A and B are shown apart, each in its own frame.
Chain A
């Protein structure tokens, strides 16, 4: 077994773009996030289970657009009506879910390998996103998420932090290289450190 992550072939460490003469702290940082458990959780229409009683890693599923429920390990992103994306560093969360969620009421699908994940951090991060994504980032706050497109590629964007701004961008794995090229290209103007 030798795991090769989605961006393994393109993500090279170093400093790029217009970084010269700038303090490292002011540069954007870009990294690939790997080895996460990613699940799609969907509640079927006829399910009567109250979401109040359904907890994963201590977090509730909440049917609120753009909401992210989170703790240190796990983030549950709203993905549509009665539809969530769970992202966790704890792989055994899958077992917890399979035990708790009845497959006549919930569809649980492992899509951990389906995504290329880029994390971008820095005060210009929103500017990078605005170059390819038509979403109104002025409205986006910490612990909110959205699905949209970046240069024509479908993406899910999760805002992890706002001091400085930090985002996790999920693209389809096969588009990973193109998405990475797009994001890094848009970052050249500001200068970035690939970590």
Chain B
């Protein structure tokens, strides 16, 4: 099998390695180093999809990230990924892809009927037609439109690929490895700066891969290769290809998506498919280059119409001819480079130049090669449905308003060059106030807001000599500020061709009596006529025109359409482009997989889990767990077929009749220490704390300054300057921050330290009429009688060689204790309690029984302390000290808080007093 559009030699592909792949079910082959696009073109495949609205046939328009058409569905290892640009997807063995946006097939698409009904689908059609009746929207209109207009199909299966994140810091982040990126990276690296150089394509070098220039007596590409291999050897430099810097955020944080395994048939197990880098850079150098813009003419969306730079790239990088009878339509010298490349490979191009008498070195070279050049000529319309067959061309008057007689030229592709648009997306995202440059008819960076500098074509500089000079200097200057080193770099000699001025011409007028669609936005099918309608209907702001017509809103984000849209609006409105202004550039610059954004936050990594040291015992004993914040707590211990209600009733009843044990490790614990600890607690809690003796616990309630109950719990005085505070599980972290706030900001004169000891202690609540008997067994050497350990008392004990703290506190109304041991001994304590409790019919109980017991006792729980209630609402007003001030006290005088009709917690007792 031969590839009829692949030239014999040349290109940067590896012709020794054939790669087979499938597109829409047909098998093809390409070579290592191909993209899906270049491999299809090599096989003469131009029809790859259908357009969004009219379902018109779609081919290839570009050769990279700017591609508006060739969006495909990709299949790999039984997985599928939608909306992949064929121009970016590298070929790998076994790749399978299919067209999107067409049904039943790309060759026969039912939706294309829209194309013949297009009179009904002008701008705003969806808004106007499908709005009424409103009830139709969700059920009828939306599903229909989605099916007809949708792009790819997202997989419904679990994504087996890994995606990872990484935080990185550097002195200079350089986005783009074209001439400016390489030069600035080189001089910065030589100054010892920590440099990250990011290139979105697989190959480094940017425009140097396709331009006919000479740097330091080498070809541009050889020079780029030399610089890259030198940079790769330097320890202070990270060079990354297949890595797109797609977002520029606050404080010089940029996000880059690295395709780690996207070009491979299969991701290595344990390796990520993509890695998202969060890069904080001291300085950012944007060397993102420029994108060629099209000239607008009739049927300019026909497959075979493409950017002239793309045709050149397919030829020089991939050795692929996009056609054998090419027409080059240009308003500047770039088109001639493409024509010359064709000619060199034995193909006869025709050049149509909208300029009347352009003169330059490169035009002379084209003439000398005998290329057919027609000046003051334009393409009026492409002819052909699924592929360009010919072009209607005509002369154009000097004022670009009048067309001459229409002639038809046979051709199989039309390569368009409407000059260059700097890629300023990152610049704009950084907050830079961009400005319009009349010289190049495009926006360029203006005043920086963050530490960002733009170089080369992205800055509107299109000569290599100037680009290299400023880039070497900038890299040096910025790195010198950081490293204070000043390494001399000699700037190499540059040989390049001088360009003549481009023609300020972007849209071919319609010939009389013709109504060709002239497209601005190729992916969203927005034509010149749509923008005209929007303006006629009164839309003025470019942001409104964008939304009404959907110009620039597709997945390519208008990379090739925005400026021509602006030109049109400014022309109709009789304004200059800068006053129309461009729409806001927002990240991401190019679509990013949802998987990459999510990273490893999937499955058990989606959120952290907190477990008590006794967790495994609960698991082994049929505990059913409940989320308490991020803690996992046993809700109940299931026996047989018990339901939640049956189990919790059994557990609660056993506490009332025998003894139960509950894991209370999750309760927040805070060590409050210092000479002023008592005074501090007295201000924090609503009740009095100055006279609590050592060895005693007290229940306390704390408020926020607005009078709302924040938390409750017991605090025990362990020694003179040491208190052990407990909080609810949910509020533990907030209470600690709250205490730190007062100690650091409000009462810095207090000598108090607070530190969380939640994890230091494993806790077990032992409750029920037989709890004291059990406690005595656990602590045979300790006096736990009512006298030895009275209500709200605290003693230390020895649990078979383990140091323990014993608190006599109860939230259930039963005789109850809480035992704490250091966490490593948590399970030991628990098993001892269960073992020695056996003779007392002990049962473990979970949070459900715990709540039941609390409610039966009339004690507040989480549901009451919900951040909306004051002490009165919870019948806690008895804990409000009248003698002292405390946090939130003043708020309790507010009219609403003393109103008589406030809701209040009440106890409910059955009338027969039995059940």
B partners with A = yes
- When the two chains form the complex, which single residue of B607, B613, B751, B826 contacts A44, counting CB atoms closer than 8 Å? B751
B169 A136 Cβ-Cβ under 8 A: yes
**Residue A18 is within 8 A (CB to CB) of chain B in the complex:** yes
B278 A109 Cβ-Cβ under 8 A: no
**Residue A49 is within 8 A (CB to CB) of chain B in the complex:** no
* B625 → A minimal CB distance (Å): 14
Rounded to whole angstroms, the CA-CA distance of A121 and B529 in the bound complex is 65
Rounded to whole angstroms, the CA-CA distance of A134 and B279 in the bound complex is 10
Known: A17-B270, A151-B608. A173 touches B759 (CB 8 A): yes
Give A81's nearest chain B residue, CB to CB: B744
Q: What string of 1s and 0s marks CB contacts (under 8 Å) between B592-607 and chain A?
A: 0000000011001101
Write out the residue numbers on chain B whose beta carbons fall within 8 Å of the beta carbon of A139. Answer: 169
**Residue A9 is within 8 A (CB to CB) of chain B in the complex:** yes
Rounded to whole angstroms, the CA-CA distance of A176 and B609 in the bound complex is 9
Known: A18-B269, A44-B674, A103-B721. A174 touches B825 (CB 8 A): no
Known: A1-B828, A113-B823, A152-B608. A185 touches B600 (CB 8 A): yes
Rounded to whole angstroms, the CA-CA distance of A45 and B749 in the bound complex is 8
Known: A109-B671, A138-B194. A130 touches B802 (CB 8 A): no
Give A42's nearest chain B residue, CB to CB: B753
A1 B721 Cβ-Cβ under 8 A: no
A138 B169 Cβ-Cβ under 8 A: yes
A2 B828 Cβ-Cβ under 8 A: yes
B824 A174 Cβ-Cβ under 8 A: no
**Residue A99 is within 8 A (CB to CB) of chain B in the complex:** no
B823 A6 Cβ-Cβ under 8 A: yes
B758 A174 Cβ-Cβ under 8 A: yes
Rounded to whole angstroms, the CA-CA distance of A151 and B749 in the bound complex is 36
A175 B610 Cβ-Cβ under 8 A: yes
**Residue B525 is within 8 A (CB to CB) of chain A in the complex:** no
Known: A18-B271, A134-B278. A175 touches B755 (CB 8 A): no
Give A178's nearest chain B residue, CB to CB: B608
Q: What string of 1s and 0s marks CB contacts (under 8 Å) between A126-137 and chain B?
A: 010011111110
Q: Is the interface of A mostly helix, strand, loop or mixed?
A: loop
Give B761's nearest chain A residue, CB to CB: A113
- When the two chains form the complex, which single residue of B168, B607, B760, B824 contacts A3, counting CB atoms closer than 8 Å? B824
- When the two chains form the complex, which single residue of B280, B721, B748 contacts A136, counting CB atoms closer than 8 Å? B280
Write out the residue numbers on chain B whose beta carbons fall within 8 Å of the beta carbon of A9. Answer: 616
Write out the residue numbers on chain B whose beta carbons fall within 8 Å of the beta carbon of A174. Answer: 610-612, 631, 665-666, 758-759
Rounded to whole angstroms, the CA-CA distance of A103 and B675 in the bound complex is 8
Give B278's nearest chain A residue, CB to CB: A134
A18 B823 Cβ-Cβ under 8 A: no
* A5 → B minimal CB distance (Å): 6
**Residue B166 is within 8 A (CB to CB) of chain A in the complex:** yes
Q: Which of B472-527 contact A (CB under 8 A)?
A: none
A107 B608 Cβ-Cβ under 8 A: no
Rounded to whole angstroms, the CA-CA distance of A113 and B825 in the bound complex is 9
Give B609's nearest chain A residue, CB to CB: A178
Q: What string of 1s and 0s marks CB contacts (under 8 Å) between A31-71 and chain B?
A: 00000000010101111000000000000000000000000
A185 B802 Cβ-Cβ under 8 A: no
- When the two chains form the complex, which single residue of B760, B800, B827 contacts A111, counting CB atoms closer than 8 Å? B760
**Residue A147 is within 8 A (CB to CB) of chain B in the complex:** no
B609 A3 Cβ-Cβ under 8 A: no
Q: Which of B620-666 contact A (CB under 8 A)?
A: 631, 665-666
Q: How many A-B residue pairs have CB under 8 A?
A: 143
Write out the residue numbers on chain A whose beta carbons fall within 8 Å of the beta carbon of B878. Answer: none
- When the two chains form the complex, which single residue of B675, B748, B822 contacts A113, counting CB atoms closer than 8 Å? B822
Rounded to whole angstroms, the CA-CA distance of A127 and B270 in the bound complex is 15
B823 A173 Cβ-Cβ under 8 A: yes
**Residue B298 is within 8 A (CB to CB) of chain A in the complex:** no
B270 A188 Cβ-Cβ under 8 A: yes
Write out the residue numbers on chain B whose beta carbons fall within 8 Å of the beta carbon of A2. Answer: 825, 827-828
Rounded to whole angstroms, the CA-CA distance of A120 and B28 in the bound complex is 48
Q: What string of 1s and 0s marks CB contacts (under 8 Å) between A1-35 and chain B?
A: 11111100100000001100000000000000000
B604 A181 Cβ-Cβ under 8 A: yes
A109 B757 Cβ-Cβ under 8 A: yes
Rounded to whole angstroms, the CA-CA distance of A6 and B822 in the bound complex is 11
* A22 → B minimal CB distance (Å): 12
- When the two chains form the complex, which single residue of B164, B604, B752, B825 contacts A131, counting CB atoms closer than 8 Å? B164
A3 B825 Cβ-Cβ under 8 A: yes
Give B270's nearest chain A residue, CB to CB: A188
B610 A113 Cβ-Cβ under 8 A: no
A151 B169 Cβ-Cβ under 8 A: no
* B632 → A minimal CB distance (Å): 10
Q: Which of B794-826 contact A (CB under 8 A)?
A: 800-802, 822-826
Write out the residue numbers on chain B whose beta carbons fall within 8 Å of the beta carbon of A6. Answer: 613, 823-824
B824 A5 Cβ-Cβ under 8 A: yes
Give B751's nearest chain A residue, CB to CB: A44
Give A47's nearest chain B residue, CB to CB: B751
* A131 → B minimal CB distance (Å): 5
**Residue A165 is within 8 A (CB to CB) of chain B in the complex:** no
**Residue A189 is within 8 A (CB to CB) of chain B in the complex:** yes
Write out the residue numbers on chain B whose beta carbons fall within 8 Å of the beta carbon of A188. Answer: 270
Q: Which of B248-301 contact A (CB under 8 A)?
A: 268-272, 278, 280
A109 B270 Cβ-Cβ under 8 A: no
**Residue B167 is within 8 A (CB to CB) of chain A in the complex:** yes
**Residue B673 is within 8 A (CB to CB) of chain A in the complex:** yes
**Residue B165 is within 8 A (CB to CB) of chain A in the complex:** yes
Give B748's nearest chain A residue, CB to CB: A45
Rounded to whole angstroms, the CA-CA distance of A153 and B271 in the bound complex is 24
B757 A111 Cβ-Cβ under 8 A: yes
Give A35's nearest chain B residue, CB to CB: B824
Write out the residue numbers on chain B whose beta carbons fall within 8 Å of the beta carbon of A4. Answer: 613, 824-828
Give B675's nearest chain A residue, CB to CB: A104
**Residue A144 is within 8 A (CB to CB) of chain B in the complex:** no
21 A-B residue pairs with Cβ-Cβ distance under 8 Å, sorted by A, are: A4-B824, A44-B752, A45-B749, A107-B671, A107-B753, A111-B757, A112-B760, A113-B761, A114-B757, A130-B166, A131-B164, A134-B167, A151-B605, A152-B607, A172-B758, A174-B759, A175-B610, A178-B610, A181-B604, A182-B605, A188-B270
The 10 A-B pairs at the shortest CB distance, nearest first, are namely: A107-B753, A174-B610, A178-B608, A44-B751, A113-B823, A173-B759, A188-B270, A114-B759, A107-B673, A3-B824
Contacts beyond the supplied A44-B674, A104-B675, A152-B608: 10 A-B pairs with Cβ under 8 Å: A42-B755, A44-B675, A45-B748, A114-B759, A130-B166, A136-B280, A138-B194, A151-B601, A175-B608, A182-B605
